[in-house]
Structure formats: C-alpha cells, structure tokens
C-alpha cells in the first residue's frame, strides 16, 4: 500500500483541546495529512487553528479533500462515548465510493455499518476500526511483573492532559541516549501513529488488565524501557475503571504524572465542584497506593502541559509542581525534557541493579 | 412463556466454590431446576454436592436432563474469561434441537454461534445471552450521586466471596422491616434471578461506570434503599477495573465489605505471595479512599462468608473482623443478619435527615 494521504474528519470540533487524535497525527505524521475537514473553520490553515502544523488547509467538504489528493479519511475526533455522528456517515460513503480507505478510532465500528461496508467492498477501500479488540484476550495474571525492561506508565489528573504526547517526546530522546525504549500504545491515536497496540478502553471490561498485560509484555521484548501509554484518570467518574485496569495490568515499576497546568476541573464535567482537581501530591499518593496493591510502584516525575500559558507562567507551573511533590517536573514538549529523561534513566539503572 | 425448567450445565466444575451461577439459581429458584449436568458427579444429588438443594439429581448427559422434563439449559459455570468450553457446544445443539431454550452468562455470545443460532431458529428455541450489553450505554457523569435512595454497594476482598448472596439475604429482611429495598444486579447470576440489570464486566471498558450509573438510578426509583451488587476486588489483578468503574458509577453512600473467612489468597492466583489478601482494615481504607474520590462513602459493615467453617470458628471469624475494623460483622447466610440490617437502617435514616 502507498503511504496514506489523510483527509482528517474533525467537523465542528477542530481545535487545540478538542480534536486530540487529529492533532497528534498532524504533530507526528504531518507528511501524511493533506487537509482537515471542519466546516466552521474552512479557509484557515492548521497552523492558524493549532499553533503548529503549517499551511495544511482546513476544508468544508469531502469533495475538496478528495480534490487535494486524499486517499484515506481518518476520523480525527473522539466524541464522548466515541460514537459516529450520523451526518458523517454520508461523507464517509462519499469517500469510500471515491476509492478511499477509512481509519477510525470510534467505539462504533464503521466496518459493521452495512452502507459503509458495501461501499468499501464495491470500490476496493479498506475500513480499519482501530478500536476493535483482538478476540482472544486473557484475564490478567500479573505476567507484566516479570519483564526485564523498566515499565513506565503515564498517569494523569484527567483525560486529555498530554500523556501520550509527553511519552512520544521522550522515546526518541531516550533511544538517542542509548536506552533502548519502546512506546506501547493503549489508545486509538497512539495506535494510528505506531501501527500496533490495543485500545484498552474498547475491550470488554473483564479484559482491560489482560489487554494491558499482553501489550506490555510484547513491547518489553528486547527493550530496556517501555513507556506504556496511560488513559483517563483514577478519579474520573466515567473512565476510572480503564485507568485502574491499565495500572494493574501493565504493572509499572515507575509512573510519570501528567497534568495540564491551567486545568481546574475534570474536563468533561466542568462547573461541578465535586470534580475539582485535587493537588498533585494527592494524585501521587493515590497512584502509588492503588498501583502498589498489585505491584510496587512510584511516581518518578511530573510532565506538565503548559501549551496555553506564557513562558513565565509555564516555568512557574513546573517549579511549583516540583516543589509541591519533591519530584522532577518539566513540560517535555515545550522545555528541555532532561529532568524526566534523567528520572527514567535512574529508575532503569536501579531496576537493572535489582 | 411457561416457567423455565432448567437443566444446569456445570460439567467438570460443579461444587460449593466453583459453580457460582449454578449454585445461586439452585439456592434462590430451586423450583426451576430439574437437574445439573456434571459427568464427574452423576448419581449424586445436589444436596450431596452443595450441602443444600435437596434431591435434585446430577446427571451425566443432555439426554437424561431432557428426559427429566428440562425445557431450558442454563449455563451454570463461569470459567475465567467466561468463554464456552468447545465440548459444550454439541450438548447445546442437542438441547436446542429438542426444542429447549438456552440461557447463558458467558462472554462468548451463544446466539452469535452459527451452529447454535441455526438450531434455535429451526426448532423454535430462544438463546438468551445475559451478558450482552445494551447498545446505548452512556459515559458516567455522576448522576447516581443525586438519587434519594440510600445506595449500598457490596465490595470484596476477592471475586466469589459471596457479595450477591449476602445482599439477597438482606433484601427480604429489609423489606419486611418496612424499608423499601431493591437489589440491583450487575452480574449474570443476579440478572438471571431478578430478570433485569446489566453485566458490568461485559460492557466496553469506557462504559463500566455508565452502565452502573444507569441501573443504580433505575433501581433507586421509588426505593428507600438500593443494594447494588458488587463485582471483583480493588486489588484483583484481572478485574480491578470493573470494581472501580462500578464503585465510581454507582456512587454508593455506604458499602458492605464481603470476605470469605478461610480465603488467604486472591482466588484465581493461589500460591502467589504478592496476592496474599491483606487485613480487612486495609480494604476498608482502600474502598473508602478510592470511592470518596468521586462520592463520599463509608464501609458500614462486614459480611463474612463462613460456609466451610465449624460453628465456633465461624463465630470467631465474625468477632475478630468486628474487633479489627470496629464495624458490625455477621455471616448473613448462616447467622442473624441483624447487625447488617441495623447498619443499613441507620445509614438510611442518616441520609434521609440530610
């Protein structure tokens, strides 16, 4: 297959904090993106909207995207619950009938839609439902405790605070420093970028930890360090089960706590006082206590997402977090990731020494 | 439909601690059970094997069960992972071809099996896959915080320690005492007994809490107290995600901690020192801390399963647990459930007073 040239569907939701999948594909595989479809923002460039991504255009219709040479439509938003907006179905049919493939991370499997399946079959396109789980997942049994590699899991104060981005920033740096490091994708975006993994939020609930265990063990083969992509938050009222299953299935030796500095409330539930984000030190205590119920683990550093702050405020957020928790803290996207690289290298040396 | 006359399939696994679904149906709906199929134990009675259940026979073949008048086959074991043993498929076809219905709580949906679906279609039988989740589950948003009824969740030191049984013992007593109480089934066995509910371990992981929220709100309508069926354990390496999702989705005001007195290790992982069951007071602390991250909650009593102990040892186990935790403790199946009834009534009065 030729390299995909994606039109990214993000209609009505393209933006720095709303279209997480779209944005990560644009950040890490910009050469594969020909346009973004969002009627509200058409005429702008991706750079205008996100602050990165260059002059890739935002278009208003499937026809424009096809005219720009797209051979693939990537569903680039993850609405709450992950279901397909009804209006998009017609666009996807249009694309499939033009011979495009479709890549989707929605919970609703597009290949199971008779209309779309028929269009794919008749026009030779492929529908890839990234979130469709393997059929033979195990119940976890602690296998990930036994890997030789250092297992590092990102954990968060909320969904969508930058867990995956923090890790993708660290992987190359760790490899460049001689530590053989592998990223283990547990969500649709990481899987689209890396080409493997399991979306642990889409498996049958009894198999969350089993899925995490399987890909952690797989990623650890021949690696010094595996960075397991974190999901959700331990106090998120909707997604905490996925977070704990991932924590207990992957058996991390070390965790990196991720936070967005300006975030005050668990994101999907704004204005609910009971969902005010507690202090970082509370999360450190929670994750260490919850994780250690199955495998001894420590938070070794803080990854701070400061994308929406000025330089001084961003520096201050990192300094404050380091002071509060006594842990190294940086924004690995914006500033030098060395404090986190150092913390991981130290934990790796310590595990190797036994 | 006529009342079902079940042949319970529990081949190779019928016993006091192994065939949880079978045993609960026999305990709570004995009039609906005509026989149990387990080749190893055929010739015995259910009473011989379980210590309750009377002279219902254990048989060695589907044909014997059909000859006894079975019009339904109930899959009565829950193997780890819930998948269908291949050998059973032929028996189920035999039953369907004889016009029986099938009720299953396995993760593998029997109605999706072409062979079984064809047999059901051609002979008029119905296949009910209890664990098949509703299609339209929400992501939880804290709705269960707002119900007027007192929400009581059972939590456990492990799977299969008697959470559901403890609650079913309490429901009638509470209703008899004038507290309008409803049991909310979250697993296949409770659903088979009560005829409603959602198997929260079988939903897509992102919707565990959403499923728990929906049935808690539904159960609370017009009730003074809802007893939500607990699942798994917060430190179970395979199932903890389900446990936490259920805890955060149902937003219990109060919890009853369930333990089997003679159990030393998390059950599916015997002989692993890292899975020794910690003291009950540790679980009280964990569940209160984990639960209160979303909704303030307290453990108000201990339900002790002493089925395999002599009377003196059973009394001592309850006394020891009460002393360790400072909470009322009883075996509600074997002894007077009054201590737990009292604790629930007190919590209900306290919630009603605001």
Task: State pLDDT tens for residues A166-203.
Answer: 999 999 999 999 999 999 999 999 999 999 999 999 99
Over residues B295-321, the pLDDT tens digits come to 999 999 999 999 999 999 999 999 999
Q: Are A216 and A226 in contact (CB under 8 A)?
A: yes
Token output for A299: 């938070």
Backbone dihedral angles phi then psi of residue B196, each to the nearest 5 degrees: -155, 180
Per-residue pLDDT of chain B (354 residues; tens, 9 = 90+): 468 899 999 998 999 888 889 999 999 999 999 999 999 999 999 999 999 999 999 999 999 999 999 999 999 886 555 567 778 899 999 999 999 999 998 888 999 999 999 999 999 999 999 999 998 899 999 999 999 999 999 999 999 899 999 999 999 999 999 999 999 999 999 999 999 999 999 999 999 999 999 999 999 999 999 999 999 999 999 999 999 999 999 999 999 999 999 999 997 666 688 889 999 999 999 999 999 999 999 999 999 999 999 999 999 999 999 999 999 999 999 999 999 999 999 999 999 887
Q: Which residue of B has its CA nearest to A83?
A: B136
Strand order in the sheet with A254-260: A181-184, A225-228, A150-156, A254-260, A298-305, A329-330
DSSP letter assigned to residue B204: B
Token output for B74: 């109930």
Q: A85-123 burial, b if ≥16 CB within 10 A, otherwise e?
A: beebeebbbbbbebebbbbbbbbbbbeebeebeebbeee
User: For chain B, how far is it from start to end, CA to CA, in angstroms?
Assistant: 45
Q: Which residue of B has its CA nearest to A243?
A: B241
Q: How near does any CA of chain A get to the CA of B204, in Å?
A: 5
Q: Which residue of B has its CA nearest to A274?
A: B294
Which residues of chain B neighbour A243 with C-beta distances below 8 Å? Answer: 241, 244
CB A207 to CB B141 under 8 A?
A: no
Token output for A130: 């990234």
Q: Which of A209, A240, A243 sits opposite B238 (nearest CB)?
A: A209
Q: Which of B138, B238, B244 sits opposite A241 (nearest CB)?
A: B244
Which residues of chain B neighbour A292 with C-beta distances below 8 Å? Answer: none
Whole-number Cα distances in Å, B196 to A8, A47, B122, B130, B191? 42, 52, 28, 9, 5
pTM: 0.93
Which residues of chain A neighbour B275 with C-beta distances below 8 Å? Answer: 142
CB B203 to CB A204 under 8 A?
A: yes
Which residues of chain A neighbour B137 with C-beta distances below 8 Å? Answer: 81
* DSSP codes of every residue in A23-82: HHHHHH-GGGEEEEE-GGGTTSBHHHHHS-STTPBEESSHHHHHHTT--EEEE----TT-
Q: How near does any CA of chain A get to the CA of B199, in Å?
A: 10
Q: Are A147 and A193 in contact (CB under 8 A)?
A: no
Domains identified in chain B and CATH numbers: 6-129 (3.40.50.720), 143-352 (3.40.50.300)
Task: Report chain A's C-alpha Rg in angstroms.
Answer: 20
Over residues B64-119, the pLDDT tens digits come to 999 999 999 999 886 555 567 778 899 999 999 999 999 998 888 999 999 999 99
ipTM of the complex: 0.91
CB B239 to CB A294 under 8 A?
A: no
Q: Which residue of A has its CA nearest to B238?
A: A140
Kindly indicate the confidence band of residue A80, based on its pLDDT and cuts at 50, 70 and 90. low
Token output for B108: 């593998």
Which residues of chain B neighbour A156 with C-beta distances below 8 Å? Answer: none
Token output for A120: 């794919």
Strand order in the sheet with B33-37: B58-59, B33-37, B6-9, B72-75, B101-104, B127-129
CA distance A285 to A25: 33
Residue that the structure tokens 């509060």 belong to: A324
CA distance A224 to A57: 40
The DSSP element (H or E) to which A95 belongs, if any, is helix A86-97
For B1-45, give the secondary structure using H, E and C: CCCCCEEEECCCCCCCCCCHHHHHHHHHCHHHEEEEECHHHCCCE
Q: Which residue of A has its CA nearest to B200?
A: A205
Q: Which of A81, A240, A248 sits opposite B237 (nearest CB)?
A: A248
Which residues of chain A neighbour B290 with C-beta distances below 8 Å? Answer: 234, 290
Q: What is the pLDDT of residue B104?
A: 93
Q: Are B225 and B342 in contact (CB under 8 A)?
A: no
Q: How near does any CA of chain B get to the CA of A242, in Å?
A: 6
Q: Which of B201, B237, B249 sits opposite A140 (nearest CB)?
A: B237
CB A203 to CB B205 under 8 A?
A: yes
């Amino acid at each position: 297959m030729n390299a995909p040239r994606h039109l990214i569907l993000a209609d009505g939701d393209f933006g720095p904090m709303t279209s997480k999948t779209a944005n990560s594909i644009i950040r890490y595989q910009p050469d594969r993106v020909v346009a973004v479809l969002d009627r509200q923002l058409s005429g702008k460039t991706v750079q205008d909207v996100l602050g990165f991504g260059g002059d890739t255009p935002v278009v208003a219709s499937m026809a424009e995207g096809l005219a720009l040479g797209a051979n693939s439509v990537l569903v680039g938003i993850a609405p709450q619950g992950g279901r397909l907006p009804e209006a998009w179905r017609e666009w996807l049919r249009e694309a499939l009938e033009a011979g495009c493939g479709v890549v989707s991370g929605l919970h609703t499997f597009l290949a199971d839609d008779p209309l779309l399946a028929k269009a794919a079959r008749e026009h030779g396109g492929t529908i890839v439902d990234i979130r469709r789980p393997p059929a033979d997942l195990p119940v976890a049994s602690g296998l990930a405790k036994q890997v030789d590699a250092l297992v590092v899991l990102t954990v968060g104060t909320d969904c969508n605070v930058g867990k995956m981005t923090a890790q993708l920033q660290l992987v190359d740096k760790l490899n460049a420093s001689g530590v053989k490091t592998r990223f283990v994708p547990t969500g649709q975006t990481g899987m689209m970028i890396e080409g493997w993994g399991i979306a642990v939020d889409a498996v049958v609930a009894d198999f969350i930890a089993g899925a995490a265990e399987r890909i952690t063990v797989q990623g650890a083969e021949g690696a010094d360090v595996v960075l397991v992509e974190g999901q959700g938050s331990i106090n998120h009222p909707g997604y905490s089960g996925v977070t704990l299953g991932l924590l207990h299935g992957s058996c991390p030796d070390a965790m990196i706590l991720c936070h967005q500095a300006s975030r005050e409330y668990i994101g999907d539930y704004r204005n609910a006082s009971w969902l005010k984000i507690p202090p970082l030190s509370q999360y450190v205590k929670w994750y260490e206590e919850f994780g250690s119920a199955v495998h001894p683990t420590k938070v070794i550093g803080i990854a701070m997402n400061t994308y929406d702050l000025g330089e001084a405020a961003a520096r201050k957020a990192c300094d404050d977090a380091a002071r509060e928790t006594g842990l190294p803290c940086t924004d690995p996207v914006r500033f030098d990731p060395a404090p986190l690289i150092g913390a991981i290298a130290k934990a790796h040396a310590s595990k190797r020494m036994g």
